[in-house]
């Protein structure tokens, strides 16, 4: 029997996430794809999507009319109690005891009137035997109003591939999506020449088989941070094929022409779009694109994250394959995929 599943993801990556779910969840059917979330149907719990999602939720019910009206209808839906699982499922030695009900508007957390919240909490408590506790919850339930006004009632099944990034670091799910946008191949020689703390390169190493992964940054301490990250158990069998080094992105002399098959990178933007440093950042990227044309083999793929308004000029060596308008830390950005002619 199939269930409906909801995964939030980095804003703007909807078309890519829909393709990835179709690839990773056999028999899945996309029900609704939005700017920052996908709702789909699948028979089994789709664990593979957690690498590029911000969580996995089971859909328990939905209603039109916005958050407050939707919450009232959901509380009266006689079919929902049967979909709320009993407390069961071990959590440590004691099992789950508490839950939290959170509410969100289309973009941000939103308050719910006390009476509506109490009705839903009573519904959940009656079915599960759990008690409300917003401080230390064992389970999370969520009311999520979508951009079309539909309100979803969700149960979190698993946390996503998300951690608080360091200053100037991309979230892990965004790194995975950028790596996946290169359409990974098992014989890839992958390069991120502006690697920062190495998120994109390391996610590419985890995403699919490859030949080599190279990560470089002008700042030695960031290259060292990539090497430190490789001590994690996930990279135990990959360390000999991942190379991190302090290197100028415009100096590709370490690589023969056509040696690299895929590049995904997040070069400097300047302080903000059109702000101080933006012109210099665009010039740096244009210079890198010329070097990338030499590095990439015919048919190679280049994915680049840039400010939404940045002018990225490529020569005839590249054909633009895809563009996604995305948000990164609240800033308007774009992701471009080019194929080497």
Q: What is the pLDDT of residues 204-244, one digit of tens each?
A: 999 999 999 999 999 999 999 999 999 999 999 999 999 99
- Pair of tokens at residue 150: 């539909």
Strands laid side by side in the 318-328 sheet: 242-246, 212-217, 189-192, 260-265, 296-307, 331-340, 318-328
- So what's the pLDDT on residue 167? 75
Contact 28, 42 (CB under 8 A): yes
- So what's the pLDDT on residue 272? 45
- Identical topology for domains 3-158 and 172-340: no
| pLDDT tens for each residue of 267-313 | 987 654 444 566 788 888 889 999 999 999 999 999 999 999 888 88
Contact 215, 209 (CB under 8 A): no
**CA torsion angle 260 262 264 268 (round to 10):** 30
Query: What's the whole-number mean pLDDT along residues 114-125?
Result: 94
Angle at 300 between CA 297 and CA 305, to 5 degrees: 130
Q: Which CATH code for domain 172-340? A: 3.40.50.150
Was domain 3-158 assigned CATH 3.30.420.40? no
- N residues, the chain: 341
| pLDDT bracket for residue 98 (50, 70, 90) | very high
* Spans of all domains in the chain: 3-158, 172-340
| pTM, two decimal places | 0.92
């Amino acid at each position: 029997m199939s269930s409906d599943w909801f995964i939030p993801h980095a804003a703007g990556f909807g078309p890519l996430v829909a393709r990835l779910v179709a690839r990773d969840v056999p028999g899945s059917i996309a029900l609704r794809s939005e700017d920052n979330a996908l709702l789909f149907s699948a028979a089994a719990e789709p664990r593979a999507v957690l690498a590029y999602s911000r969580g996995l939720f089971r859909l328990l019910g939905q209603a039109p009319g916005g958050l407050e009206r939707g919450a009232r209808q959901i509380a009266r839906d006689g079919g929902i109690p049967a979909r709320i699982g009993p407390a069961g499922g071990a959590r440590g030695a004691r099992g789950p005891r508490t839950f939290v009900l959170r509410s969100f508007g289309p973009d941000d957390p939103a308050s719910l009137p006390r009476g509506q919240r109490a009705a839903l909490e009573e519904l959940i408590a009656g079915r599960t035997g759990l008690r409300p506790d917003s401080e230390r919850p064992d389970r999370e339930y969520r009311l999520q109003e979508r951009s079309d006004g539909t309100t979803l009632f969700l149960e979190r099944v698993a946390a996503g591939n998300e951690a608080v990034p360091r200053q100037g670091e991309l979230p892990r799910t965004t790194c995975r999506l950028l790596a996946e946008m290169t359409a990974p191949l098992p014989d890839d020689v992958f390069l991120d020449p502006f690697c920062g703390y190495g998120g994109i390169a390391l996610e590419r190493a985890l995403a699919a088989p490859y030949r080599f992964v190279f990560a470089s940054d002008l700042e030695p301490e960031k290259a060292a941070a990539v090497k430190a990250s490789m001590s994690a158990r996930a990279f135990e069998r990959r360390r000999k094929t991942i190379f991190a080094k302090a290197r100028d992105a415009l100096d590709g002399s370490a690589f023969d022409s056509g040696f690299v098959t895929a590049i995904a990178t997040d070069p400097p933007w300047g302080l903000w779009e059109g702000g101080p440093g933006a012109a210099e950042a665009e010039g740096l990227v244009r210079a890198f694109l010329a070097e990338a044309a030499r590095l990439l083999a015919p048919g190679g793929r280049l994915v680049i994250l840039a400010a939404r308004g940045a002018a990225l000029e490529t020569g005839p060596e590249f054909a633009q394959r895809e563009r996604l308008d995305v948000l990164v830390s609240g800033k308007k950005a774009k992701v471009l995929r080019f194929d080497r002619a």
